[in-house]
Structure 1
Amino acid sequence: MGRGSIGPGDDVEAWCTRCRMNLNHRVIAVVGSNIQRVHCLTCGGDHKYYPPKGTKPEKTERGHVKIARSVDKAAASVRTSAARAAGEWQTIMREMSPDRAPRTYRVTESFAPGEFIEHPVFGIGRVVDIVGAERMQVIFKDGRKVLVCNKKSSA
């Protein structure tokens, strides 16, 4: 693959049909120069590629998104949002009390906005918002993630 081209395994920002947000996704399938399917790095869902909301990608005559511009914009958007998230995370981490350890993240537990948690993959983060009965938005060093919480066991 030449420089600037996107292929399976590359990360892009896309609209997640499950989370209903612009989030980082991993490319699953590309046909020609068009992204076809992606995997959401937040919720784990696989779906058709939709460009991030708020952008107007150029389309081919068949209605496929042209990669050259949309991927460049998506990559720039991911870099910008990652830099913004890292700065926001650093500010938030200064507010964390040094004598109080963050709670270990578990899907079965309830959390409150402002609470610090420790995730086994994403590290230390702060709950930003509770989204519905079983989801919360948390900011980590590498960006905001929507995590499951308050999940009742089915046993």
Structure 2
Amino acid sequence: MTTKKPKTGGEIDSYCTKCKLDLTHRIIAMVGDDVKKVECKTCGSHHLYRRPKSEVLAAAALKAKTTGSASTKREGGSDEKRSSGARAGSAAAKREMDQTAQWEHAIAGQPSTAFKPYRISLTLNPGELVRHPKFGDGVVARVIDRGKVEILFKDGAKTMAHGQTS
């Protein structure tokens, strides 16, 4: 796997501080080989480069995995408890990474026009893309009943109302 060296004017994935999502950004400033400032291609905001949250979570999961497996047993079994706690943290991080990957796969390559603004009055079907003012972009995972749907957002699945008339 080869990765291209970033350069000014090129594209890079970064965490957008305005959109609160990992999105494609244009590199607008570099110092040496380090990306310093980027422009979000979605909202147009300029901010310091921040590694995508998915990379940060992956690094944390890897660190938890290596820390948990590298511990040695001390007297009284205290490291056994610590190791199981690291595994639980690692499992939670893995679930969160899997959920983020599922969400990214569902919305990947979709134009912003493909997302419907979420309204409680909309009747939604599985696979439809929605844009919520608080939770961001999401995909309808399933219809629970005629008044509820489960929508997968980057931060997790949310049960939302739909098809409501006033």
Q: From the two aligned structures, give the one with the greater helix fraction.
A: 2
TM-score of the pair, normalised by structure 1: 0.46
Could you say which structure has the greater relative contact order, defined with CA pairs below 8 angstroms and 6 or more residues apart?
Answer: 1
Whichever of the two has the greater Rg, that structure is: 2
TM-score of the pair, normalised by structure 2: 0.44
